[in-house]
């Protein structure tokens, strides 16, 4: 099929949709976006998402709390809880892995439907169809690939909240109030951060409306606008304030391994992450997502140059509130630029604004595109979808290799996993970082690397562990212990001089094994270097080797001895 044929098919498809009603149109566009994003999941047993195995381990701990007295359950009524509630209800019936796969498909489906629905409400049919040609990498986005499924679900639910807020402002009704409350509370339950963002956007809109009223240009009296937007959001405001209070007052110090710091990114990385941490998939096989990224950025830059402001609706239709006004877009970018990437025990902080940046760009698409651009976008979408399918299968094979040691690990083993290389095939996620979670889910092994240092997680340390055994420190230990040279390089960065790297390396491993060795009956080493293997204590016997995987068992009669 030639490029001209592709363009012709696209033109015919879009022309046919012009005759379809709004609801069928949303379903048709949403179904197309869903199929492009979701079909690779039907090739594997469990999605190859970075954090998902850790979440499966958490669900196992919740279900078998008596086996994990070192952890406490934070309860079901909390933000960041949708996935775990689903796993708790559906997991026992169909199995954790199947339940996780169904949840992932649900996230993709909700996103694929909510995005065109939002665009239809905000910018009308023609622009919705145009924007959908750019939206396909935003369905199976980076937050899905990393397994941050609660946050990924909260983003489309936040858009649904804005839909009902807009409807209530234009045509107030009890049904619209109920829609706002249900969608906003659902957003909070999935993840509070998108709720905080839309609360900020609503606040910006109210401020802009107040200024317009002062200039005699407002659509409604300001008191009416304030009442219609603020009152339905009161339950969500209370819940988000409660979640923020808990986060700001949760215990630090030993609970988060004294990691009370903020990490900021350089400018080039901020720009790179605008693409990589929303639009890009796993590897360069999905690099065609650069096409809509570049075209959207160029169009908005062109519109800004012409001082173009989005109408928000087709001709003849009342202009809806612009929750993504030029000032709102500028505010999103400004906060993204100045906010830290890591803040104490909270990761990818400023990255969570990226979805709303791209949504703000989507509502600024033109009414029509040249045929060549449409054909390019469709071709890029098909290439992206095919690449994600290939990568999904490749990453699943790595999961199979990592979990090949199940037979060598007994039930309830005290297993210490050390992952020396968290990614191999994937370039944009660390898909093996938490793959040890499958051992917890299947064999109920110990979970020393579980997310457990914050109230935002479903489970938390009952008492702070030693700094070395806090997963924030333990997870990164193997990243700097791969070789003597690496260790010395890290020490030199902190002004510590080392005369004998090899001796210092052995000493640090002896110290490590002296603390963690006695409390673990089994070791899982993934992609360990020769230097690491030479420093495994002699009382651990190698029981299985599968490619890059090694399983060790501590001999009960042996006395501790470290090389």
Q: Based on the domain organization, do 383 and 440 belong to the same domain?
A: no
State mean pLDDT over 74-87.
Answer: 94
Q: What is the model's pLDDT at position 246?
A: 84
Task: Please state, in angstroms and rounded to a whole number, the distance separating the CA atoms of residues 244 and 242.
Answer: 5
Q: Is the pLDDT of residue 433 over 50?
A: yes
134-183 pLDDT, tens digit each: 999 999 999 999 999 999 999 999 999 999 999 999 899 999 999 999 99
9 domain-assigned = yes
Task: Please state, in angstroms and rounded to a whole number, the distance separating the CA atoms of residues 532 and 509.
Answer: 9
Q: Is the pLDDT of residue 297 over 60?
A: yes
Q: Based on the domain organization, do 57 and 69 belong to the same domain?
A: yes
188 domain-assigned = yes
Query: Lowest mean pLDDT: which of 31-45, 240-254, 266-280, 539-553?
Result: 240-254
563 domain-assigned = no
State mean pLDDT over 13-34.
Answer: 82
Task: Please state, in angstroms and rounded to a whole number, the distance separating the CA atoms of residues 417 and 403.
Answer: 12
* Boundary (domain end) residue, out of 332, 360, 393: 393
Task: Please state, in angstroms and rounded to a whole number, the distance separating the CA atoms of residues 60 and 358.
Answer: 36
561 domain-assigned = no
Q: What is the model's pLDDT at position 495?
A: 55
* Boundary (domain end) residue, out of 369, 393, 417: 393
Task: Please state, in angstroms and rounded to a whole number, the distance separating the CA atoms of residues 232 and 228.
Answer: 7
Confidence of residue 237 (pLDDT cuts 50, 70, 90): very high
Query: Lowest mean pLDDT: which of 15-29, 70-84, 444-458, 459-473?
Result: 15-29
State mean pLDDT over 66-72.
Answer: 95
Q: What is the model's pLDDT at position 249?
A: 83
340 domain-assigned = yes
State mean pLDDT over 349-371.
Answer: 93
Q: Is the pLDDT of residue 287 over 90?
A: yes
Q: What is the model's pLDDT at position 184?
A: 97
Give the DSSP per-residue string, 506-539: HHHHHHHHHHHGGG-SEEEEES--HHHHTTS-TT
**Looking at the 3D structure of the chain, how many domains does it have?**
2
Confidence of residue 16 (pLDDT cuts 50, 70, 90): low
559 domain-assigned = no
Torsion-angle region of 312 (φ positive above 0: left; ψ -120 to 50: alpha; else: beta):
left
Q: What is the model's pLDDT at position 502?
A: 81
Q: In the block, which residue shows the tokens 């969570």? A: 352
Q: Based on the domain organization, do 380 and 436 belong to the same domain?
A: no
Phi, psi (rounded to 5 degrees) for 538: -70, -20
Q: Is the pLDDT of residue 5 over 90?
A: no
Query: Lowest mean pLDDT: which of 259-263, 268-272, 513-517, 528-532?
Result: 259-263
Q: Is 152:56 a contact under the CB 8 Å cutoff?
A: no
562 domain-assigned = no
* Boundary (domain end) residue, out of 337, 369, 393: 393
Q: Based on the domain organization, do 400 and 386 belong to the same domain?
A: no
**Tokens describing residue 66:** 């008596």
Q: Is the pLDDT of residue 218 over 70?
A: no
307-336 pLDDT, tens digit each: 545 554 444 333 445 799 889 999 999 999
State mean pLDDT over 284-296.
Answer: 96
Percent over 90 (pLDDT), the chain: 70
- Residue whose C-alpha is closest to residue 192's, from 160, 157, 164, 226: 157
Q: Based on the domain organization, do 453 and 342 belong to the same domain?
A: no
Q: Is the pLDDT of residue 305 over 80?
A: no
Q: What is the model's pLDDT at position 11?
A: 58
Q: What is the model's pLDDT at position 17?
A: 61
- In DSSP terms, 73 is beta-bridged to 459
Q: Based on the domain organization, do 283 and 429 belong to the same domain?
A: no
Q: Based on the domain organization, do 308 and 250 belong to the same domain?
A: yes
Q: In the block, which residue shows the tokens 């498909």? A: 105
Q: Is the pLDDT of residue 531 over 50?
A: yes
Q: Based on the domain organization, do 347 and 466 belong to the same domain?
A: no
Q: What is the model's pLDDT at position 238?
A: 96
Q: In the block, which residue shows the tokens 């054909």? A: 375
Q: Count Cβ atoms below 10 Å from residue 70 Cβ, excluding itself.
A: 16
Write out the residue range of the structural domain in which residue 485 sits: 394-554
Q: Based on the domain organization, do 16 and 86 belong to the same domain?
A: yes
Largest interatomic CA distance in the chain: 86
Q: Based on the domain organization, do 93 and 169 belong to the same domain?
A: yes
Task: Please state, in angstroms and rounded to a whole number, the distance separating the CA atoms of residues 248 and 252.
Answer: 10
State mean pLDDT over 122-126.
Answer: 91
Q: Based on the domain organization, do 350 and 457 belong to the same domain?
A: no
Percent over 70 (pLDDT), the chain: 89
**Tokens describing residue 397:** 């094979």
- In DSSP terms, 542 is beta-bridged to 552
92-104 pLDDT, tens digit each: 999 999 999 999 9
Q: Based on the domain organization, do 356 and 456 belong to the same domain?
A: no
Mean per-residue pLDDT of the chain: 89
State mean pLDDT over 205-216.
Answer: 85
Residue of 245 and 42 predicted with greater confidence = 42
Task: Please state, in angstroms and rounded to a whole number, the distance separating the CA atoms of residues 114 and 179.
Answer: 14
Task: Please state, in angstroms and rounded to a whole number, the distance separating the CA atoms of residues 161 and 152.
Answer: 15
DSSP state of 517: G
44-68 pLDDT, tens digit each: 999 999 999 999 999 999 999 999 9
Confidence of residue 299 (pLDDT cuts 50, 70, 90): confident
Task: Please state, in angstroms and rounded to a whole number, the distance separating the CA atoms of residues 480 and 484.
Answer: 9
């Amino acid at each position: 099929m030639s490029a001209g044929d592709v363009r012709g098919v696209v033109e015919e498809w879009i022309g046919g949709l012009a005759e379809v009603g709004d609801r069928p149109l949303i379903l048709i566009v949403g179904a197309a976006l869903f199929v492009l994003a979701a079909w690779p999941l039907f090739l594997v047993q469990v999605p190859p998402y970075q954090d998902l195995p850790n979440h499966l381990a958490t669900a196992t701990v919740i279900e078998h709390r008596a086996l994990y007295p070192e952890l406490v359950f934070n309860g079901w009524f909390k933000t960041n809880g949708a996935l775990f509630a689903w796993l708790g209800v559906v997991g026992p019936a169909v199995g954790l892995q199947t339940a996780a796969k169904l949840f992932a498909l649900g996230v993709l489906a909700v996103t694929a439907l909510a995005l065109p629905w939002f665009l239809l409400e905000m910018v009308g049919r023609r622009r919705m169809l145009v924007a959908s040609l750019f939206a396909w990498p935003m369905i199976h986005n980076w937050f899905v690939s990393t397994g941050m499924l609660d946050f990924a679900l909260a983003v489309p639910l936040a858009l649904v909240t804005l839909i009902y807020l807009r409807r209530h402002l234009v045509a107030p009704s009890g049904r619209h109030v109920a829609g706002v409350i249900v969608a906003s509370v659902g957003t909070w339950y999935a993840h509070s951060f998108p709720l905080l963002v839309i609360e900020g956007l609503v606040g910006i809109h109210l401020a802009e409306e107040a200024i317009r009223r002062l200039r005699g240009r407002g659509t409604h009296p300001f008191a009416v606008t304030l009442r219609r937007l603020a009152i339905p959001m009161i339950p969500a405001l209370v819940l988000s304030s409660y979640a923020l209070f808990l986060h700001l007052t949760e215990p630090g110090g030993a609970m988060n391994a004294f990691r009370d710091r903020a990490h900021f990114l350089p400018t080039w990385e901020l720009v790179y992450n605008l693409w990589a941490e929303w639009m890009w998939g796993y590897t360069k096989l999905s690099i065609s997502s650069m096409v809509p990224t570049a075209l959207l950025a160029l169009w908005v830059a062109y519109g800004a140059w012409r001082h173009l402001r989005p109408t928000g609706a087709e001709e003849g239709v009342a202009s809806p509130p612009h929750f993504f006004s030029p000032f709102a877009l500028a505010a999103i970018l400004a906060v993204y630029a100045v906010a830290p990437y890591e803040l104490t025990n909270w990761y990818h902080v400023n990255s969570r604004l990226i979805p709303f940046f791209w949504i703000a760009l989507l509502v600024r698409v033109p009414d029509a595109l040249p045929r060549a651009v449409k054909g390019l976008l469709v071709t890029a979408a098909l290439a992206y979808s095919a690449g994600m399918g290939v990568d999904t299968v490749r990453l699943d094979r790595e999961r199979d290799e990592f979990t090949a040691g199940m037979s060598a690990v007994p039930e309830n083993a005290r297993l210490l996993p050390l992952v020396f290389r968290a990614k191999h095939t994937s370039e944009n996620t660390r898909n093996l970082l938490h793959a040890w979670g499958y051992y917890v889910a299947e064999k109920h092994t110990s979970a020393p690397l579980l997310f457990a240092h914050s109230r935002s997680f479903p489970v938390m340390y009952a008492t702070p562990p030693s700094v070395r055994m806090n997963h924030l420190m333990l997870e990164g230990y193997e990243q700097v212990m791969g070789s003597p040279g690496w260790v010395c390089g890290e020490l030199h960065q902190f002004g510590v001089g080392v005369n004998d790297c090899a001796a210092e390396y052995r000493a640090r491993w002896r110290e490590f094994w002296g603390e963690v060795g006695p409390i673990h009956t089994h070791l899982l080493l993934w992609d360990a270097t020769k230097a690491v293997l030479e420093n495994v204590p002699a009382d651990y016997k190698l029981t299985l080797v599968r490619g890059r995987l090694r399983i060790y068992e501590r001999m009960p009669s042996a006395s501790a001895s470290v090389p």
